[in-house]
Structures are given as C-alpha cells and as structure tokens.
Structure 1
C-alpha cells in the first residue's frame, strides 16, 4: 500500500515538473510575441529605400500593378496602372498592421487599391456588388529581405511586393507608366480588327482582352501556327507581359509605344520598340486569314454553347464598322411603346438558325420582350480554317425586315458580299464575328445566361 502511494506521489511530481518546463518554452506572452512580429513586418515594409512594386491579382485573375511607399507614421503613398489618373497622381492614405487570424495589412482609408474592390461597378467596370473581386485587407503569408506575399481576406486576391529600385521609382514618378496607359489608347484607333506586330521580320498577331488584362499573341501559319496567352501591365511608355513571348531566338517582353500615325485601314501604323529595336504594329486588310489557330475552332464552340441549352447569343450594339460602334444606329429603333433591346442569334441543331431583332415593351407590365423582325439563316463552315459563310435561308413572313433604316442595314451586312466571317472568342463571355471582306466590320455577341 505504501509503495503504491509512493508511485502516485512520484507521478504527480513528474507531471508538475513537465508543466513547469512547458511554461518556460516562451519567455514572452502571446500578445508580446505578436506585437514584436507586427513591428518586424512594419520595419520591413518601411525600410525599403525606394518603396515597393506591387502585383495584385484579383480573384478573377486580372493583374494590376502598384507602387507603394510606407512610412513609420502609418501612411502609404501609391500609384497604380489602373487608369491615367492612378498612374500619374501620387495618392496618400493610411494603413495599419493588425493581428486578426494572422498578421494582416489593412489599407484603412479609401485609396487606389480600394477602387478594384469597390462594389459600385461604375468605378471599376466590374460587377455591381462585388466590383473586380479584389481586397483591401490582406493576411501576410511571408516576408523576406526583398519580397512580401499576401492574400486577400475576403476574396482571396493575391498581392506581392518586390523591393523597387531607384530606376523603378523613376518609371512611376516620371509618368512613364502614365505614358503607357495613354499611348495604348491609340491602339484602339486601328480600323482593322486584326493587328500585327512586326518584329525582326516576323508578324505576331495581337488580341487584347481588356476585361482580364491579357493578350493572345499568335504567329506562324498552318501546322506551325502558335498562340500564347500572357497577362499584361503598363510600364515604361508601353505594354509589357508578365512572361515574355519566346519564338526561337527572339524574346518579346512587351513593347514601348513611340508614335501612332492615323490613316486608312491598311496605312495606320503604331511605331514601337521591342528590346530597344524598332518595330511596328499595323492593321490587316481584307481577305487575309488570321494567324490565331483557335479561330478554326471558335465557331464550333460558339454554336454548340447555345445549342446545348437551347439558348442564344445577343448583341446590344449591332455592327461596328470603320471605327464606329453601332454603325447603323440600330439602338435608335422604336415600335410604338417598344424600343430596340438586342439582336438575337440562335444556332439551331436542326434546320435553320434564327436571326431576329428583339424589342423591350416598356409600357407592358411586367416588361416583355417582343420579336419585331427576323429571318432564318444558314451557316456553312470550313472546318480547316473556321471560315464561316452566313446566308439567308428565308425571311420570317410574320416578322418581315423593314425595307430601309438600321434594321435593314444590319440584315444587309449580315449577308453582304460573300457573307464570309471569322469568329473569335474575345473574352469569357463574348465572341466577335469579323467580316472577311472588310475587317473594319464586326459584331460582338454576348452570353447572358
């Protein structure tokens, strides 16, 4: 019995001894340790002599570039390549480091970084209620001597800091990023849908998707046709790619824009430099096949996407032509209390496709859609090239097209000349139908389902 008591007492002593040892693992309280960590992070952020270059990828994968300079008084100055204002006007606001579920960086007064997450879509071109799916509160993932990685606490956007050099800071402060934003606006003055960069004797077709800030670059032809997608940002008077395009011995990191000369469809030219070497971007004329190898498959995807759910594609602006959106002024159409809403194209699995004008009756309760004019359409597709011939099968006798005006001009264009088009997937939700006879003419189809 006495022996058992001794064993029991020995066990108590051992447990107590272990507990005292555990208590000595940390010589500071949890609050003291987290405050020291936050102080170390603040020191790291404020000690970069020339600030930081920041890459922010939204939850949707869109890249925006920033410049940050943090101070010990919890102020931060920034630029962004979001637009011409954010890239030219230095914005000062406040920030703080706080221990939430983990150490976090919070931009706590409205700044350029808030624009991306603003739920008012008119501020950023995103979606109402969510903006561009970005963040202004970030959990700190890692800190090294020259970089910091963070993750947005609401949308999971990714933000990385890299120490800026004096040259980097000068690119921002001397408005070279602003120049890139401004210079790139001239790119959209090209009348031709197809634009090609000629660098060291090779043509590279460019297709920019501004909604995701990415570019598709295509070169070669036939079996050697190649295409690559790159995220882009504005820098040093032009547009640059996150990863360069590599074609044999030629590497294209992007291009600096030096000038733009306006003119006709094929005489417009943008002078650029690539790796310091002079190059040009020009528009392509009629009856020239695109370089992007995806074009041969795009029309099939466009048709099958609508056919699979019995849905249709819509266009709110009608045809773009010779630099003019809604070239035929189709949005002006009215019929009593009904106003033009969109063009509808429904690819059919059997028989003919439907091509109709749809109006919105604003006096009807509830609001109703009304088909005003339409025709049945045929599409014949050359599968090896994606060339698509669109012909009118018959006019809907109950919904005849007007003899004149925007609707008739639209119908005429759809079936004009050879009726040949290429289809291009221009974003996740849009396809462009581009005329072969006149590449200044195209219509954008939206997926609204």
Structure 2
C-alpha cells in the first residue's frame, strides 16, 4: 500500500511540474507581445504571395459584388486592381491594427473609400472574422445604419485568377457603355446582362419583353451556357472573350455568327417607361457611373455637405441637396422642362433661372458642370427601368455616362 501511495505521489509531482511548465510557457509573453506576433504573422502572410490575393467584396446590403486583386507590397502599401472598373489599378495605403481583433483598414483616398463616398453602403475598415484553409474572412466595422460588407480573400493562383477575371469581364464595366447587346450578323439584337453565374438575354416579342436566363460554366477563354439560347431553331451556347475589344464572340458551330458587344444604344426600348418616370414629381439621383462619379468629390470641394441631386419634373426644378449648408439646404436651378421625345427619350431643358443662395457653388464648379452637361444634353437621355422605383438615365451622346434615379 505504501508503494502505491508513493507511486501516486511521484506521478502527482510529475504532472504538477508539467502543468507549471505549460503555464509558464503560455504566459512567457506579455499580451502586447502576443498581439504583435499575431499582427506580424498576418502581415507577413499577406505580403508573401507575389500574385496577390483574389478577393470578393460584397457590399450595398449584399446587392453588389466586386472582384478585387490585392497585392500587399509592403507593410503599408497595397496595389488594388478592379477588372470591372476598366482594370483600375492604383496603390493605396493600408494598416493592420488590433483592437479586440485584427483590423484591416484602407486609407480614405483608396478605391474602397470612394465606394463609401458614393453612398453604396460600403466600407474600407474590416475586422477579421475568421481564418481557415489559407483564406481570410473580414466583415465591416461600419455602423449598423451604414450597412454591412464582407471582404473574403484567398491566395491568387494563375488558375483561379483567370477564371475570376473572366467572370468580371462578363459583368458590367462602368467605364464603358451602359448598353451591352448580343448582336447577330443578320441584324437581330438582344439585351445582355450577367449577375453572379447567370446570363440574361432580353428581347421584344408581340410588344412584350421576353427574358431568357441560363447558368454558365466559365473557362480560360470564355464561357458556355448550360441552357443554349435558341434563335430560329439554331443554338447559341459558347462564347470566346476578346481582350482587345472587351467583347465576346459566338464560337459554337451552328451557323450563327455574332457576339456580345458594347453598344451605343439599347437593343430595344419599352414604350411607356418615360411616361412612368415623369408621372412622379420627386426623384433623387442615388448613384453614378464611374465617368460621372468623378464629379462628386470635385463638387464637394465647393459644397462639403453635398448629399444628392434632386429632380422635380412637375415643378421644374433641378436642386442640389446639402443639409446644413449656410444659406439653406437646397440650391440649384428652376424652370427646367422635362419632356418625352418621339423616340421615347427624355430631354431636360433649362430656361436659365436659378434657386437658392448658393447655386453659384454648383454652376461654377467643374463637377457641377459635368452633371449639368450630362442631364441637359440636347440629344436626350434613355430611360431604363431598373426596379419598381429605380430608373437609369443614360446619355444618348455617350452611354458611358449614366446615373441611377430613385423615385
């Protein structure tokens, strides 16, 4: 019995010694040292991949996604490439910090911060939610009223990057024409769009809009419709990308020639849309294409509290809304004439009258002039319904200039 007790005592001392060593090892570093070590590990990992990080950015309450290629050059600089914005590429500053978790923060002059300025419920500050399988999953630090966004990053490889870029080429490039059509050499046109992994073609049949949808399989050279689009008994299913033009050519051998091209006009117009747009007096511009978006920060130099441009089609106003501005919340232009043309276009004319105490800050600002010239173009604007209460206004003169209007 004594031998057993002695043996147990020896084991207890041994285990106690091991536990003490483990405890000492755990607390061998201060909290500050452990945080620094975590930050250095993540920072080194981000900079380790020469091809960068293939990243998916989901924002605007989950309604929009963008492919980003992030190359972390050093511990303060990152190169951001955005294929869907004309292959936008620019360096920006960033930092890794630790609050209650690891935070990734981009500078306020980066592409990501620009999305916040556009009011797209985006963010440029994220906290690390989890790290698994070599991927990083960040969620935004935005306040609840700003909307949440997600940034998911995986190491780029030649294979996943090419497929990801192909997906971005299939989607809207805001630096190019708003209109992208499937155009056959025989003359027929069909409206084209792509969201996620689904392609849509639209056309008019018996005065009604017909919608065809198909999932797609992407490859290094283009994509294939899982459900062929059949026209006059002939099947269209395979498309090849042309990096020079940004267009896709039909390549399946069924006697159909043509492709998906950026175009100067829609494939068709829907009668009555302009009338619907004009039926509601008040409208607010809530978003701009890339070529118009450049006007907003310039305008904010003169009108720091700028919120939006507002259209009053019945009352004849185009106003700039900037709450808290000295001299009043609104200023702009009156006696604006909103008219539907015989071609189902919208024209906006101005008789030269002004409204408010600070209209000069808009009129004599280069950003303000860009927006005015777009809206007042005598060639008119296409009106494209985007949702129950949302419409795009697209310049006929240059369809890369367009805005989204909410009723």
- When normalised by structure 1's length, the TM-score is 0.47
Identify the residue that residue 247 of structure 1 maps to in structure 2: 231
Say whether the 8 Å CA contact 2:374–2:395 is kept in structure 1.
no
Question: Per the alignment, do residues 445 and 397 of structure 1 end up closer, same or farther by CA in structure 2, a change over 3 Å counting?
Answer: closer
1:439 counterpart (384, 399, 404): 399
Q: Give the number of aligned pairs.
A: 268
Cα distance in 2 for residues equivalent to 1:122 and 1:256: 40
Task: Report SS of the residue matched to 1:291.
Answer: coil
Say whether the 8 Å CA contact 1:218–1:225 is kept in structure 2.
no
1:128 aligns with 2:147: yes
Identify the residue that residue 297 of structure 1 maps to in structure 2: 272
Identify the residue that residue 275 of structure 1 maps to in structure 2: 252
Question: Per the alignment, do residues 191 and 391 of structure 1 end up closer, same or farther by CA in structure 2, a change over 3 Å counting?
Answer: same
Question: Per the alignment, do residues 215 and 446 of structure 1 end up closer, same or farther by CA in structure 2, a change over 3 Å counting?
Answer: farther
1:344 counterpart (281, 285, 310): 310
1:372 counterpart (325, 331, 339): 331
Identify the residue that residue 391 of structure 1 maps to in structure 2: 349
2:241 counterpart (255, 258, 261): 258
The equivalences for 1:305-384 within 5 A come to: 306-307=280-281, 311-317=282-288, 320=289, 324-327=291-294, 329-334=295-300, 338-348=304-314, 352-361=315-324, 370-382=329-341
How far did 1:213 drift?
A: 6.4
Question: Per the alignment, do residues 435 and 359 of structure 1 end up closer, same or farther by CA in structure 2, a change over 3 Å counting?
Answer: same
Instruction: Tell which structure's C-alpha radius of gyration is larger.
Output: 1
How far did 1:442 drift?
A: 1.9
How far did 1:186 drift?
A: 3.5
Question: Per the alignment, do residues 274 and 371 of structure 1 end up closer, same or farther by CA in structure 2, a change over 3 Å counting?
Answer: farther
Question: Per the alignment, do residues 439 and 179 of structure 1 end up closer, same or farther by CA in structure 2, a change over 3 Å counting?
Answer: same
Say whether the 8 Å CA contact 1:200–1:279 is kept in structure 2.
yes
How far did 1:353 drift?
A: 3.2
Cα distance in 2 for residues equivalent to 1:434 and 1:301: 16
Cα distance in 2 for residues equivalent to 1:217 and 1:339: 41
- Cα-to-partner distance string for 1:252-282 (whole Å, 9 max, x where unaligned): 34x4333221xxxxxx452433535764332
Which consecutive residues of structure 2, in runs of 5 or more, have no partner in the other structure? 1-60, 66-82, 85-129, 151-156
Cα distance in 2 for residues equivalent to 1:179 and 1:206: 26
Question: Per the alignment, do residues 356 and 183 of structure 1 end up closer, same or farther by CA in structure 2, a change over 3 Å counting?
Answer: same
Question: Per the alignment, do residues 371 and 191 of structure 1 end up closer, same or farther by CA in structure 2, a change over 3 Å counting?
Answer: same
Identify the residue that residue 415 of structure 1 maps to in structure 2: 376
Question: Per the alignment, do residues 129 and 181 of structure 1 end up closer, same or farther by CA in structure 2, a change over 3 Å counting?
Answer: closer
1:424 counterpart (374, 377, 384): 384
Give the alignment's Cα RMSD to 1 decimal: 4.6
Task: Report SS of the residue matched to 2:368.
Answer: helix
Cα distance in 1 for residues equivalent to 2:300 and 2:149: 34
- When normalised by structure 2's length, the TM-score is 0.51
How far did 1:245 drift?
A: 3.0
Cα distance in 1 for residues equivalent to 2:398 and 2:293: 16
Which consecutive residues of structure 1, in runs of 5 or more, have no partner in the other structure? 1-59, 65-82, 85-108, 132-172, 262-267
Identify the residue that residue 190 of structure 2 maps to in structure 1: 205
How far did 1:333 drift?
A: 2.2
How far did 1:182 drift?
A: 1.0
Say whether the 8 Å CA contact 2:333–2:353 is kept in structure 1.
yes
Task: Report SS of the residue matched to 1:386.
Answer: coil
How far did 1:438 drift?
A: 2.5
